[in-house]
Amino acid sequence: MRRVLKRLFQIILLLVLLAAGILALNYFNNGLKNKSGAGADLANADATISVLNWNIGYAGLGKESDFVMDGGENLLPPSIEIVEKNLAGIQKVLRDNKSDLYLIQEISEPDMLNLGVDVLGGVQQALSGTDWFFSYDFRTQFIPRSSSLKHGLASFAWIKTQPVTLIRLPNEPTRLQGLIQRQYHIQAREFTDANSNPWVVMNIHLSAFDEGGNVRVRQYEKLLEIAGKYYADGKRVVIGGDWNMQLTPTDFPHTTKEKDLFWLKILPTESLPADWQIVVDPSVATVRTNERPFIKGENYTTIIDGYLVSPNVEVVSIKGLDTNFEFTDHQPTLAKFKSRP
């Protein structure tokens, strides 16, 4: 009997140590991990550069979904079938709007929030042949898929670029569930256009639920500092992403209650250097609230996704793609840029 109890104690101790090790591994998981794949038959950049920017909400935030952190009731999507439907729609939009560069936020490997659907793999399939790069902002290890988080930023290129550079942005002071810290960062791609002008295109996703928007502002200020250095080096600078701050005043109809707009913050444009330009299509909303599933005219919508460009960049065109929020809680923006004479 004593031998059995001793063996049982050893097993319990081993399980406790294993659990403690997994918790510690995730607590100290602060590195910027990434993976990538080389493209085939990539072209040299032309004089005009096209960029599509889109937060795809891990294919879990289509029109049927609400989200608990936005004042809704649910953490997870309604079903795997709906996630797969959303992913198929996202793939079609990407295929139908071919661009030199794609800047994607909230893209994920199979994890809890997408109910195990491989969203990253699905986008890679839709953009097969591109040079792709994925970096985690959330990455749990040795945790079952049903409870894991594995998502972040991805960029895809049909043109030849230098390897992607990762640059850190300030993190939030607290950890998710006291354990996992989101790793905010920039993906920067450099390349040269047909007229030998050097460019850098950055992919970003700023904080969303920080108290008073203070972390967002610090991230924005750091971003401007980094962009200013690229510009001082003669680069044409384009920054695309989900800024999680209102980029331009909007007045789209809605019935959302004021309490569900707690996250809303206006971009402090007074901090912009002279002649830098925010680029959006003011006629198409890029985000909707998630306090309930989407109904046009009821959910609050505004513009928080778009571009910031340096003075040596000319905006050829900018277009918001209206998907009626069918597949994700954000809508894509498609822009074309060229070097200013």
List, in sequence order, every residue forming a beta bridge with 180; answer none if it has no partner.
Answer: 176
Same domain assignment for residues 9 and 145: no
Average pLDDT score, the chain: 91
pLDDT band at 29 (very low <50, low <70, confident <90, very high): low
**What is residue 72's predicted lDDT score, i.e. its pLDDT?**
96
**What is residue 212's predicted lDDT score, i.e. its pLDDT?**
85
Domain that holds residue 11: 1-30
Same domain assignment for residues 25 and 88: no
Among 15-19, 29-33, 165-169, the minimum mean pLDDT is found in 15-19
Same domain assignment for residues 20 and 79: no
Using the predicted structure, report yes or no on whether residue 272 has a pLDDT greater than 60. Answer: yes
Residues 6+ apart with CB under 8 A from 60: 76, 77, 83, 86, 113, 114, 115
DSSP letters of 177-227? TTTB----EEEEEEEE-TTS-EEEEEEEE--SS-GGGHHHHHHHHHHHHHH
Using the predicted structure, report yes or no on whether residue 5 has a pLDDT greater than 90. Answer: no
Say which residue the tokens 């750091």 belong to.
Answer: 222
Strands 236-242 vs 34-37: parallel, antiparallel or unpaired: unpaired
Q: What tens digit of pLDDT does each residue of 204-236 get?
A: 999 998 888 899 999 999 999 999 999 999 999
Q: What tens digit of pLDDT does each residue of 128-177 get?
A: 999 999 999 988 876 787 778 899 999 999 999 999 999 999 988 775 55
**What is residue 30's predicted lDDT score, i.e. its pLDDT?**
62
Same domain assignment for residues 174 and 323: yes
**What is residue 28's predicted lDDT score, i.e. its pLDDT?**
44
Same domain assignment for residues 143 and 235: yes
Average pLDDT for 168-188: 80
**What is residue 213's predicted lDDT score, i.e. its pLDDT?**
87
The tally of domains found in the chain comes to 2
Q: What tens digit of pLDDT does each residue of 64-112 get?
A: 999 999 999 999 999 999 999 999 999 999 999 999 999 999 999 999 9
**What is residue 209's predicted lDDT score, i.e. its pLDDT?**
85
pLDDT band at 25 (very low <50, low <70, confident <90, very high): very low
Strands 185-192 vs 131-139: parallel, antiparallel or unpaired: unpaired
Average pLDDT for 59-64: 98
**What is residue 146's predicted lDDT score, i.e. its pLDDT?**
77
**Of 304, 322, 298, 293, which is closest to residue 61 (Cα–Cα)?**
293
Specify the DSSP element, H or E, that contains 84: helix 80-96
Same domain assignment for residues 122 and 15: no
Using the predicted structure, report yes or no on whether residue 14 has a pLDDT greater than 90. Answer: no
Any idea what DSSP says for residue 68? G
Using the predicted structure, report yes or no on whether residue 27 has a pLDDT greater than 50. Answer: no
**What is residue 341's predicted lDDT score, i.e. its pLDDT?**
82
Take residue 26 and report the two structure tokens written for it: 């995730």
CA distance 152 to 135: 6
Same domain assignment for residues 5 and 63: no
What sign has the CA pseudo-torsion 326, 327, 329, 335?
negative
Same domain assignment for residues 72 and 217: yes
Take residue 91 and report the two structure tokens written for it: 């793939």
List, in sequence order, every residue forming a beta bridge with 147; answer none if it has no partner.
Answer: none
Strands 198-205 vs 185-192: parallel, antiparallel or unpaired: antiparallel
Same domain assignment for residues 219 and 295: yes
Using an 8 Å Cβ cutoff, are 61 and 329 in contact? Answer: yes
pLDDT band at 1 (very low <50, low <70, confident <90, very high): low
Using an 8 Å Cβ cutoff, are 333 and 306 in contact? Answer: yes
pLDDT band at 24 (very low <50, low <70, confident <90, very high): very low
Same domain assignment for residues 11 and 112: no
Same domain assignment for residues 287 and 232: yes
Residues 6+ apart with CB under 8 A from 337: 48, 49, 51, 236, 238, 309, 313, 314, 315, 316
CATH for 304 = 3.60.10.10
- How many Å is the maximal CA-CA distance in the chain? 87
pLDDT band at 15 (very low <50, low <70, confident <90, very high): very low
**What is residue 211's predicted lDDT score, i.e. its pLDDT?**
83
* pTM of the entire predicted model: 0.91
Same domain assignment for residues 185 and 220: yes
